């Protein structure tokens, strides 16, 4: 993509109506624009990142035998009344029709999927199965000042699993833990699996929490090797400075730490809560009728994008992990001489021929400082500079005239095209 | 995918609350389920078809230099008031927040995109550009009895183009005509480009209309070779039985026909209607300030899926065009003998190894009649049957024991695996 053609340019000053780092940087770098408080539009750069995250999530959910579907946002009021949540789910937007009753505007999908699944479950042979979707959710949140960390409209993956019994559910829950571990690792995030409340229906649930000062949650956690103890403050039986009991048991002494975190995912045993409400039963092997056991598993796709920015940035801009970057390479030409433009164009074409995603800053009317500042702000992993200085600097070494720099390293080096390709493929 | 594991099974009887053919067949075949009137959930089979259509549309929009983005559904009321449509766009759902003003729930996106584009347009150098998204739209339609042809929630591609002047717009409009022609051809639909009203602001627009008795529109059209005359009844200056003036001019005599149609897309000159409202101007080469000229271009992705079913079905079920079918091959095993199951499993694996998308009906508890009826109902292009009869029928011809049948042909033939592969690759 040529930067001159790309819709959504960088902005120098911080937007006045944003307080969060993620919104400030993503708006300035041309990834998102605010529609109203808590609601954002994703420009081409932003959508590319959302799609990268979605595809990683999709891949891991498919590996865990999740079947993708796409449920409606306008939801049947009757089912929300059945679960008793029509009047108790505070963040539920209600939508009036001129011709029908009201709808719920999907903040979650149990009220849609459980009655739907019921139609497809008769015998134990129909179980287990897992269904998911990646879809816009709507929640009338009170606070909407965290950019895309907490919005009134956001992109989410929600998966629901259906089982004959607790034992089968537990096995799947462990599979999902592994899938979630993979998702966050592939996204370049260190997410701490944290014990949290299971609500009124289950002893526990697990949240995936990312440490950052921008977080709205607080967790207590242990950094002891192979320990993994972490609890949400809301249920924690420990405090900062305590010795970690789990480590003590294995003869180590570790101290509990406290941290601000962003919740990027959660996994939740639903037990028979919803199957009871909708009478979702199956005929067991012994001929008896049994309630289906359920679990649900969420990942905030757009929130994860915000969390990445909160964790991976510096004072110059965003530092995208390779797997999520909108493009792999950002070419900049410095100077408008014919030779420079020709070399830039050639490099752009050659990288495209090698199926590398490239953003090519070919602007004529932008200066060196502006171009290099934009590269740092946008945060693509590799910067390649074509300039007269680089073309003439090392005349003795044939072809080594492309300046390579990675976003998170100050060092630059002059490379030939084949050396660039070698480094990109690493 | 093994049919025994697939979520969303076939249903024998027509659903009682549906009158349209597309909804009846898609529900019976396990592609969709109704949530409330005019709102549907897409099961795994249904989502696969939606994705195939979306990807064809995406490919053609990208070729036409469209940049994909993703705009919000919750929209700023102030912008709807600015265009005067807050109280005049009848089908606009309005959503109240506990904390803010109301939102519009996106039935279209001019009110979002035009103010957004304004931020990125300063000079003639910033033009032209084209932006699109594939996204859920919401419209409070009065009639909601046409299945996925006319819903209150539906998937749509909307592209908006921005130009310096009419001439540049006209050039792009012609490019879009070609892109639309490609989209519908690739989807296996004969869509007639039909002149329609341009509203208060433009002399004309064009709709893409598909002939079917299920259509809610009426067009007058000429089938003369190289003619292409077609007008929506709402603006037509002709009637059925008239001679086609356009053909007469080139010395042919053709008769105007009348037909019921489904509109699957439209392209629309917006001229300066919205740029005036939002004061979207650019600095021209001569230094003067000029209004940006716009066009918009829609394709109903889910409606297109419904139109395909209305056009491509018979009394047994759906007949998917190859490019949109959820799977390319439907394997059925008849009988539960070990030999049959082994052969079925092997064939399934071998086709997957060749990267063919296969649905494998491995059910133990379904009879021959039920399995073959389900194949016809679901409508996958190629059926392969593994049975004792086929395994023993032609013992003299080594390996030719797979029964091949296409959905739209009654003929069956026995083929070897390599012959199957040859035919699939054609």
What is d(CA B212, CA B310) in angstroms, rounded to the nearest whole number? 7
Interchain CB contact of A75 with B (< 8 Å): yes
Q: Are B184 and B60 in contact (CB under 8 A)?
A: no
pLDDT tens across B249-266, in order? 988 999 999 999 999 999
Residue of chain B whose alpha carbon sits nearest to that of A45: B69
Assess contact for B115 and B79: CB atoms under 8 A. yes
Give how far B95 is from chain A: nearest CA, Å: 6
DSSP H or E run through A346: helix A338-353
What distance in Å separates the CA atoms of residue B299 and residue B181, rounded to the nearest whole number? 12
Tell me, yes or no, if A97 comes closer than 8 A to chain B by beta carbon: yes
* CA dist., res. B386 & res. B330, Å (int): 11
Please state the φ and ψ torsions of residue B410, each to the nearest 5 degrees.
-80, -20
**Given a cut of 60, is residue B404 above it in pLDDT?**
yes
Min Cα separation B341/chain A (Å): 18
Chain B residues in contact with A37 by the CB 8 A cut-off are: 100
Predicted confidence (pLDDT) per residue in A108-120, tens digit: 999 999 999 999 9
> pLDDT band for position A344 (50/70/90)?
very high
Contact present, A256 and A263 (Cβ < 8 Å): no
Mean pLDDT, chain A, rounded, equals: 95
The predicted pLDDT at position A145 comes to 85
* Backbone φ/ψ region at A339: left (φ over 0), alpha (ψ -120 to 50), beta: alpha
Question: Which residue in the set B72, B90, B153 is minimally distant from A72, CB to CB?
Answer: B153
Distance CA B263, CA B204 (A): 16
Going from the C-alpha of A382 to that of each of A10, A320, A368, A423, B201, the distances in angstroms are 18, 10, 17, 10, 48
Structure confidence at residue A398 (pLDDT): 62
For residue B149, give the DSSP letter: G
pLDDT given for residue A395 in this prediction: 53
**What pLDDT score was predicted for residue B394?**
61
* Burial zone of A239 (CB within 10 Å; 0-12 exposed, 13-18 middle, 19+ buried): exposed
- How confident is the model over A390-416, as a mean pLDDT? 84
Tell me which chain A residues have a C-beta less than 8 angstroms from the C-beta of B71.
35, 41-42
Measure Cα distances from B159 to A230, A313, B364 in Å.
47, 33, 48
pLDDT tens-digit map of A34-49: 999 999 999 999 999 9
For residues A255 and A276, what is the distance between their CA atoms, to the nearest angstrom?
43
Contact indicator for B232, B194 with CB cutoff of 8 Å: yes
Query: Which residues in chain A are contacts of B97 at CB distance < 8 A?
Result: 93, 140, 152
pLDDT band of B395, cuts 50, 70, 90:
low
Contact of A40 with chain B, judged by CB distance below 8 Å, is answered with: yes
Q: How far from A40 is each of A146, B53, B220, CA to CA, in Å?
A: 12, 26, 44
Residue A73 touches partner B, C-beta closer than 8 Å: yes
| Surface of B (179-218) touching A: CB under 8 A | none
Give me the pLDDT at residue B372, please: 97
CB distance from B96 to chain A under 8 Å?
yes
CA distance A205 to chain B (A): 26
B425 by Cβ neighbours in 10 Å (0-12 / 13-18 / 19+) ranks as exposed
Across the interface, of B7, B97, B103, the residue whose CB is closest to A120 is: B7
In the numeric block, the tokens 């592209």 are attached to B159
Q: Does A119 touch chain B (CB under 8 A)?
A: yes
**Nearest to residue B109, comparing CAs of B276, B322, B296?**
B296
Q: Which residues contact A300 (CB under 8 A, 6 or more apart)?
A: A154, A155, A156, A263, A264, A265
Contact B100, B128 (CB under 8 A): no
Closest B-chain CA to A46: B69
So what's the pLDDT on residue A200?
67
Whether cis (ω within 30° of 0) applies to the bond prior to A128 is yes
Q: CB-based contact (8 Å) between B37 and chain A?
A: yes
Give the integer Cα–Cα distance in Å for A135 and B374. 30
Confidence of residue B202 (pLDDT cuts 50, 70, 90): confident
Give the one of A76, A105, A125 whose C-beta lies nearest to B95's C-beta.
A105
The DSSP element (H or E) to which B104 belongs, if any, is: strand B103-105
Chain A: residue whose CA lies nearest to B72: A41
In CATH, which of 3.90.1150.10, 3.40.50.1000, 3.30.930.10, 1.10.287.3510 is domain A21-71+109-314?
Answer: 3.30.930.10
> How much is the average pLDDT of B282-294?
98
The verdict on a CB contact (< 8 Å) between A50 and B39 is no
Residue pair A39/A136 in contact (Cβ under 8 Å)? The answer is no
Is residue B400 predicted with pLDDT exceeding 90?
Answer: no
Which residues in A lie closer than 8 A to residue B110 (C-beta atoms)?
Answer: none
Q: How many CB atoms lie within 10 A of CB B16?
A: 5
Whether B121 contacts B112, CB under 8 Å: no
| Chain A CA closest to residue B71 | A41
Cα A50 to the center of its chain, rounded Å: 7
Cβ of residue A26 closer than 8 Å to a chain B Cβ: no
Three-state SS across A214-260?
Answer: CCCEEEEECCCCCCCCEEECCCCCCCCCCECHHHHHCCCCCECEEEE
For residues B244 and B222, is the Cβ–Cβ distance under 8 A?
A: yes
CA separation for the pair A76, A78 (Å, rounded): 5
Compute the average pLDDT of residues B279-286.
98
B67 CB neighbours in chain A (<8 A) are: 6-7, 44
Cβ within 8 Å of B, A 99-118: 99-100, 103, 105, 112, 116-117
pLDDT at B397: 58
Residues in chain A with CB shorter than 8 Å from the CB of B40 are 72
Tell me whether residues B33 and A119 touch, CB distance under 8 A. Answer: yes
* Interface test with chain B among A49, A72, A365, by most B beta carbons within 10 Å: A72
**Mean of the per-residue pLDDT values of chain B:** 95
What is the reported pLDDT for A201?
Answer: 65
Task: Give B218-242 pLDDT, tens digit per residue.
Answer: 999 999 988 999 999 999 999 999 9
* Contact state of B98 with A152 under an 8 Å Cβ cutoff: no
Q: Which of B40, B72, B140 sits opposite A98 (nearest CB)?
A: B140
Half-sphere exposure of B60 (CA within 13 A, CB side): 25
Nearest Cα neighbor of B267 from B366, B90, B132, B379 is B132
A329-425 placed in CATH 2.40.30.200: no
How far apart, in whole angstroms, are the C-alpha atoms of residue A42 and residue B56?
A: 22
pLDDT of A277-304, one tens digit each? 999 999 999 999 999 999 999 999 999 9
pLDDT at B371: 97
The minimum CA-CA distance between A313 and chain B, rounded to whole Å, is 24
DSSP β-ladder status, A129-138 and A66-68: parallel
Count CB atoms within 10 A of the CB of residue A215: 19
In chain A, the percentage of residues whose pLDDT exceeds 90 is 91
Indicate the pLDDT class of residue A421, thresholds 50, 70 and 90.
Answer: very high
Model confidence at B204: pLDDT above 90: no
The 10s digit of each residue's pLDDT in B9-48 is 899 999 999 999 999 999 999 999 999 999 999 999 999 9
Across the interface, whether the CB atoms of A36 and B93 are under 8 A apart is answered no
| DSSP assignments along A123-143, one per residue | BGGG--EEEEEEEEEE---S-
3-class state of residue A42 by DSSP: strand
Other CB atoms within 10 A of residue A172 CB: 20
List the single residue in A with minimal CA-CA distance to B161.
A7
Mean pLDDT of A23-28: 98
Q: Which residues pair with residue A132 across a beta bridge?
A: A68, A159
Question: Which of these, A226, A143, A217, lies nearest to B100 by C-alpha position?
Answer: A143
CB contact under 8 A, A74 and B100: no
The share of chain A scoring above pLDDT 70, in percent, equals: 98
Are residues B120 and A8, on separate chains, in Cβ contact within 8 Å?
yes
Tell me the per-residue pLDDT of B307-364, one tens digit each, with 9 for 90 and over.
Answer: 999 999 999 999 999 999 999 999 999 999 999 999 999 999 999 999 999 999 999 9
| B residues 289-308 lying closer than 8 A (beta carbon) to A | none
Judged against a pLDDT cut of 60, whether residue B396 lies above it is answered with no
pLDDT band at residue A320 using 50, 70 and 90 as cut-offs: very high
**A105–B44 C-beta distance less than 8 A:** no
- Pair B197, B232: CB distance under 8 Å: yes
Min Cα separation B118/chain A (Å): 11
A15 Cβ neighbours under 8 A, 6+ residues apart:
A23, A24, A27, A28, A34
pLDDT band at B211 (very low <50, low <70, confident <90, very high): very high
Nearest Cα of chain A lies from the Cα of B97 at a distance, in angstroms, of 6
Nearest to A129 by CA among A159, A93, A105: A159
Q: How far is CA A14 from CA A17, A18, A302, A317, B4, in A?
A: 9, 8, 21, 12, 55
| Dihedral of the alpha carbons of B322, B323, B329, B330, in degrees to the nearest 10 | -80
**Nearest-by-Cβ selection for B136 from A44, A73, A129:** A73
Let me know: does B257 contact B240? Beta carbons within 8 Å.
yes
Enumerate residues 349 to 408 of chain B having a beta carbon within 8 A of any beta carbon in chain A.
365
Radius of gyration of chain A (CA): 25
Q: What is the ipTM of this complex?
A: 0.96
Find the CB nearest B69 among A44, A105, A116.
A44
Q: What is the pLDDT of residues A80-134, one digit of tens each?
A: 999 999 999 999 999 999 987 899 999 999 999 999 999 999 999 999 999 999 9
How much is the average pLDDT of A315-330?
Answer: 98
Beta carbons within 8 Å of A210's beta carbon, 6+ residues apart: A184, A189, A190, A191, A192, A261, A262, A264, A307, A310, A311
C-alpha dist (Å) from residue B330 to A126, B196, B312, B324, B352: 21, 42, 18, 14, 12
Domain ranges for chain A: 21-71+109-314, 329-425
What token pair was written down for A111? 């009220």
Interface test with A, best of B1, B17, B35 (most A CBs within 10 A): B35
Of A6, A40, A120, the CB nearest to B72: A40
Is the Cβ pair B41, A71 closer than 8 Å?
yes
> What integer pLDDT is reported at residue A347 of this predicted model?
96
Nearest-CB residue to A153 (from B40, B72, B152) = B72
Q: Mean per-residue pLDDT for A395-408?
A: 81
Separation between Cα atoms, residue B91 and residue A115, nearest integer Å: 28
Tokens standing for residue B83: 């265009």
Helix B301-311 / helix B21-28 crossing angle, nearest 10 deg: 90
**Taking CA atoms, what residue in B is nearest to A134?**
B47
Inter-chain residue contact B35 with A68, CB threshold 8 Å: no
A-B contacts (CB, under 8 Å): 148
Res. A73 pLDDT band, cuts 50 70 90: very high
Token duo for residue B405? 């049948």
Distances (CA, A) of B182 to B40, B63, B300: 28, 11, 15
The mean pLDDT of A9-14, rounded to a whole number, is 93
Nearest CA in chain A to B4: A126
Between chains, do B36 and A116 touch, taking CB under 8 Å as contact? no
Give the DSSP H/E element, type plus range, for residue B231. strand B230-232
* Nearest CA-CA distance, residue A195 and chain B, Å: 31
Instruction: Judge contact between A193 and A206, C-beta under 8 A.
Output: yes
């Amino acid at each position: 993509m040529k930067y001159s053609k790309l819709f959504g340019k960088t902005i120098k000053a911080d937007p006045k109506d944003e307080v969060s780092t993620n919104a400030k940087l993503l708006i300035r770098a041309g990834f998102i624009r605010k529609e109203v408080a808590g609601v954002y539009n994703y420009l081409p750069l932003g959508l590319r990142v959302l799609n990268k995250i979605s595809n990683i999530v999709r891949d891991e959910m498919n590996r865990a035998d999740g079947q993708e579907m796409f449920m409606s946002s306008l939801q049947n009021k009757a089912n929300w009344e059945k679960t008793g949540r029509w009047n108790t789910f505070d963040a539920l937007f209600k939508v009036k029709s001129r011709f029908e009753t009201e709808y719920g505007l999907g903040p979650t999908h149990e009220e849609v999927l459980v009655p739907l699944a019921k139609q497809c479950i008769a015998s134990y042979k129909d179980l287990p199965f897992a269904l998911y979707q990646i879809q816009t959710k709507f929640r009338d949140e009170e606070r909407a000042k965290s950019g895309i960390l907490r919005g009134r409209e956001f992109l989410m993956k929600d998966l629901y699993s259906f089982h004959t019994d607790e034992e089968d559910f537990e096995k799947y829950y462990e599979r999902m833990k592994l899938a979630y571990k993979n998702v966050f690792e592939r996204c370049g995030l260190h997410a701490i699996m944290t014990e949290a409340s299971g609500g009124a229906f289950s002893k526990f649930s697990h949240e995936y929490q990312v440490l950052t000062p921008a977080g709205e949650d607080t967790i207590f956690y242990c950094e002891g090797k192979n320990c993994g103890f972490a609890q949400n403050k809301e249920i924690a039986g420990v405090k900062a400075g305590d010795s970690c009991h789990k480590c003590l048991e294995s003869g180590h002494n570790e101290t509990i730490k406290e941290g601000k975190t962003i919740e990027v995912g959660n996994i939740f045993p639903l037990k028979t809560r919803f199957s009871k409400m909708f009478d979702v039963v199956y005929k067991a092997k012994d001929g008896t009728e049994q309630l289906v056991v359920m679990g649900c598993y969420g990942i905030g796709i757009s929130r994860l994008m915000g969390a990445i920015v909160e964790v991976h940035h510096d004072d110059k801009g965003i530092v995208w992990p390779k797997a999520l970057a909108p493009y792999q390479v950002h070419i900049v030409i410095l100077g408008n001489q014919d030779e420079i433009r020709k070399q830039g164009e050639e490099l752009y074409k050659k990288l495209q021929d090698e199926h590398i995603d490239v953003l090519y800053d070919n602007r004529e009317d932008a200066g060196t400082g502006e171009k290099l500042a934009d590269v740092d702000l946008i945060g693509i992993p590799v910067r390649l500079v074509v300039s007269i200085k680089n073309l003439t600097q090392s005349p003795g070494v044939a072809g080594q005239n492309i300046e390579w720099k990675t976003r998170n390293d100050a060092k630059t080096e002059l490379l030939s095209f084949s050396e660039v390709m070698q480094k990109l493929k690493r």
